[in-house]
Structure 1
């Protein structure tokens, strides 16, 4: 009987590929490049997925190919079609959609022509998938050893027991995990997030498939664990000649792993280029917009979010889908959809779908002058954290942590997973009762137990959680959620309450009509703005932001960061918890670095990030992805 784990791996596994000219011959193709002759076993031509009810396309006319051992980066905002495309490459379409056109060649065989049984034999064996959330992808009822051995039993039943054990030990060694019986008998919940993700990599590479699709596998990981996972992927793809597609919204991570990149927008290829071409000479305004929106650890640059939203499949215009958001748009763009055009041939062909690609200049990042960032060092501290110790059960998690934040300042709290960042922020918010020390807000000592704090104290210090979907009541409209906050903290009339709600929505750049919608009707960025609006209704002095941009598209992230900077100018003080050092460089005035519950470095942002003193801070910076690090630097890291 197939277990849940094998069902997940073989039934939901994804297919992946690379890039090919739209009109290229496909099948078993040979392409000469710098490495010599490379077999191209994966080829996709004119792949189109449409909604069943309306017939509108979700992704349209996708064509590309991929070499053995090559990694293709697939990037774009939420709604661009990344997940739909990844699923379709497996011959799978989500409920309400269907594949209506196209061919997908696996070693010359069109997998879309296979029946369900044949597809199940391929999934998990020749095609593997690495999910974004290993906690939900692994069966909590199976040990690590059972996960790995059952996969071999299903797809390689002829192997003897000793041969299976040998293959399991070998793949665990290659992903940097123990091979002893104690580890194999552990369950997924007994592993860290990084270990769980490496187990998914072990499962994906165990059968040495022809292709692997990786769906945002490092989004929730800290920078050092992220580097480890990326290095493992890169090494195993080359060692086993496995082609891979790396799906992500973070171009700095894609720069660390991919050989080529496809930029998707509104279900179509906007740009398709080799890695160096895409980052050095992007030719589509959307690609340039994504690069301008990325915060970077190396420099404090101006963040420019792309205004507006990508159109839904049921609301796409006649002409260029990006025209409404593009500063280069002309009448032609609104009337005629641009075709994917080959700009350069040879070893690294470059394709772009834009009427005005020849007007795209070299991208120039606008670096902010650090001398213009003034710290109000003469002000009295608004929030003081003194000698905080905290425990989880019998295990101490924080050790004598102290720092101060001035009014209108942003302090970033950084460190690896398990360093104590969230524990410390929850202690400050009164959400962790097993703690000692003092939290002083505007000269008032706050109880470490939130329920014992006075109402006026509670609304002055607000917590914004990482996942806004879980933090918002799905049964309440946005208007109901925000109205209840006003009614709880303030004695206002119905008209005054409505005015406060409309004003705060305007403050976070959301229209009043959002009040009629439910959380499920909003994008991730819109939900996060609602969570910020809910906190702002309390008129807080301090906002604690716990990884609030980690799962957002780079453009949405840039807009959220600009909003927080505006709030700072209005006097709001920020404690920003994050593992993204690029975000720290963009928004923080000071940085506090935590390691194993100890505060190891604390100071002004540019001083800490440009001239770190502690070895641990230097390690974090070495592993932080950056648009301005060379290939040699990222591989050595």
Structure 2
């Protein structure tokens, strides 16, 4: 049975009994997947990492990633009611379809844009390649037309900008403009808002919604985020290990799910109110999936006993970590302007802000990874040297950093054990046997287990790699852990497991945590305090409940208003 949408126009694309297998070994990764895309409507294809949703989406364009091959079924693209099987076409004909009648928007806009080309020229190149219009003048007119369609200026000055001169949200809208330039009948959008802050995400979702409705485009929206699905989709298909296990209209799937896997995905979506606890349960497919787990009394994350002591110390003017009038500029551009924050022992503070607000720059200054700042970073009452090279071994040990991407933060040539051991070698004072014991202990702490010590990053899932990165940060028993967007690249089920892990580690070890993110919905699930950063300034700072229940600054109120809600 194929999906029918509530606003179903004519069928624009039909995937029928699609089967895809690995080239080596022949293991099937898609087991007879079928769905329809209708003109003017959006189908959300939902599932955790590895479920096969991107493989199915790329098959709509007649493309299969290296190591995969088409073994059965078809993809019919309809024009005037007549089907054309995309997978039966020669490769040159498929290429002509891509970007023309069928377009694709990837997850990371930076990967789809040429950094050496002006953005207007990149859109123009798409039009030239697909023979849009009868002249260059007509194609340039289309460039000026499509930019406002995605909410960007269409003037020549804007077209002359390079990708690095645009924000992440602007880059993503340029990617959508490139995909939409030739007026396709079908768009495949692969996690197009992952990693974007809530304000930018809202703009991109609104852009996608407007384009599909106004121009009768059929859309396939690939995602793991069911809160986003509620904002953008007409129908939903839920994928698990190569099968569609549930399908139907959006309200039906989101509010009356029939399959247990769908219910678990829904329980993994963080709620701003914090009324349910995102946590962990048995994995269905090897990753931890989320389940509501009651913790403590009331909606907010409990502080550890160390945090209770820290609160009393903070009232007396003491803090484990403090920044004083921290400022940083690049030329005339002011990135940080007089930042003052204080973090107590055992306390978790969420540092919240949209892309470009300065939150990663601030966190890197605190860790000594950016030494160009003015002002002070004070640890246990003593001002730190600006760069890690000038800090003592003990100071470096005390502040550890977990990076955003689980895929690029580990050396692919080193085993997991070797990567985790690096901080121990740098601080010294231990022999080989002691280091191995500490590595094993750190692996146990993040619930990977000692069997991972000789494995390499390529053998691990995204969630497992992020756990290994956390283990590397924990191996020296830091007093402050800086987590920089550590869940933004993870699907919601794995995000829930990582949040629960960090919550537990903070409770057990008494370490302080600075949790840097653009995802305000996680606030009550991970932090006791919330600091909001806008354009390099702290505009709100206080206990999580106070900031969320009674925000004083209009920017905080705007962020809360833009959160996708179920």
TM-score (structure 2 length as normaliser): 0.93
Distance in 1 between residues matched to 2:410 and 2:387, nearest whole Å: 23
| Alignment check: 8 A CA contact 1:410 1:574 kept | yes
1:595 aligns with 2:534: yes
| Alignment check: 8 A CA contact 1:293 1:306 kept | no
- By how many angstroms is 1:300 displaced? 4.1
Secondary structure of the residue that 1:497 maps to in structure 2? helix
| Aligned position for 1:50 | 21
Distance in 1 between residues matched to 2:6 and 2:361, nearest whole Å: 50
- What are the superposed Cα offsets for residues 333-369 of structure 1, whole Å, 9 maximum, x if unpaired? xxxxxxxxxxxxxxxxxxxxxxxxxxxxxx9896961
- By how many angstroms is 1:157 displaced? 4.8
| Alignment check: 8 A CA contact 1:290 1:306 kept | no
- Return 382-391 or 185-194, whichever deviates more: 185-194
- By how many angstroms is 1:190 displaced? 2.1
| Alignment check: 8 A CA contact 2:106 2:189 kept | yes
| Alignment check: 8 A CA contact 1:77 1:249 kept | yes
User: What is the number of residues matched between the two proteins?
Assistant: 551
| Alignment check: 8 A CA contact 2:415 2:454 kept | yes
| Aligned position for 1:447 | 385
Distance in 2 between residues matched to 1:88 and 1:513, nearest whole Å: 36
| Alignment check: 8 A CA contact 2:336 2:535 kept | yes
| Aligned position for 2:312 | 378
- What are the superposed Cα offsets for residues 564-599 of structure 1, whole Å, 9 maximum, x if unpaired? 111221201000000001112211100001111111
- What are the superposed Cα offsets for residues 50-70 of structure 1, whole Å, 9 maximum, x if unpaired? 112222211111011121111
| Aligned position for 1:38 | 9
Distance in 2 between residues matched to 1:439 and 1:179, nearest whole Å: 44
Structure 2 counterpart of 1:412, from 335, 350, 353: 350
Distance in 2 between residues matched to 1:326 and 1:532, nearest whole Å: 19
RMSD: 2.1
- By how many angstroms is 1:371 displaced? 7.2
* Mapping for residues 240-259 of structure 1, pairs under 5 Å: 240-259=215-234
| Aligned position for 1:71 | 42
* Mapping for residues 560-579 of structure 1, pairs under 5 Å: 560-569=498-507, 570-579=509-518
Structure 2 counterpart of 1:127, from 89, 102, 112: 102
Call closer, same or farther: CA 1:256–1:298 in 2, change over 3 Å. Answer: farther
Distance in 2 between residues matched to 1:281 and 1:63, nearest whole Å: 22
- Return 589-598 or 369-378, whichever deviates more: 369-378
| Alignment check: 8 A CA contact 2:194 2:488 kept | yes
| Aligned position for 2:143 | 168
Secondary structure of the residue that 2:195 maps to in structure 1? coil
Call closer, same or farther: CA 1:450–1:487 in 2, change over 3 Å. Answer: closer
| Alignment check: 8 A CA contact 2:300 2:545 kept | no
- By how many angstroms is 1:471 displaced? 2.0
* Mapping for residues 199-598 of structure 1, pairs under 5 Å: 199-308=174-283, 310=285, 369-370=298-299, 373=302, 376=308, 377-379=311-313, 380-569=318-507, 570-598=509-537
Distance in 1 between residues matched to 2:282 and 2:419, nearest whole Å: 26
| Alignment check: 8 A CA contact 1:410 1:576 kept | yes
Unaligned runs of 5+ residues in structure 2 are none
| Alignment check: 8 A CA contact 2:276 2:292 kept | no
1:614 aligns with 2:553: yes
| Aligned position for 1:318 | none
- By how many angstroms is 1:490 displaced? 4.2
| Aligned position for 2:75 | 104
| Aligned position for 2:134 | 159
Call closer, same or farther: CA 1:256–1:233 in 2, change over 3 Å. Answer: same
Call closer, same or farther: CA 1:468–1:158 in 2, change over 3 Å. Answer: closer
Distance in 1 between residues matched to 2:260 and 2:299, nearest whole Å: 28
Secondary structure of the residue that 1:381 maps to in structure 2? coil
- By how many angstroms is 1:423 displaced? 1.1
Call closer, same or farther: CA 1:76–1:381 in 2, change over 3 Å. Answer: same
- By how many angstroms is 1:309 displaced? 5.7
- What are the superposed Cα offsets for residues 199-255 of structure 1, whole Å, 9 maximum, x if unpaired? 111111111111000111111211111100000000010011001111112111122
Secondary structure of the residue that 2:312 maps to in structure 1? coil
- By how many angstroms is 1:310 displaced? 1.7
| Alignment check: 8 A CA contact 1:292 1:305 kept | no
Distance in 2 between residues matched to 1:122 and 1:307, nearest whole Å: 43
| Aligned position for 1:356 | none
| Alignment check: 8 A CA contact 2:238 2:244 kept | yes
- By how many angstroms is 1:393 displaced? 3.4
Distance in 1 between residues matched to 2:350 and 2:464, nearest whole Å: 23
- By how many angstroms is 1:96 displaced? 2.0
- By how many angstroms is 1:165 displaced? 2.5
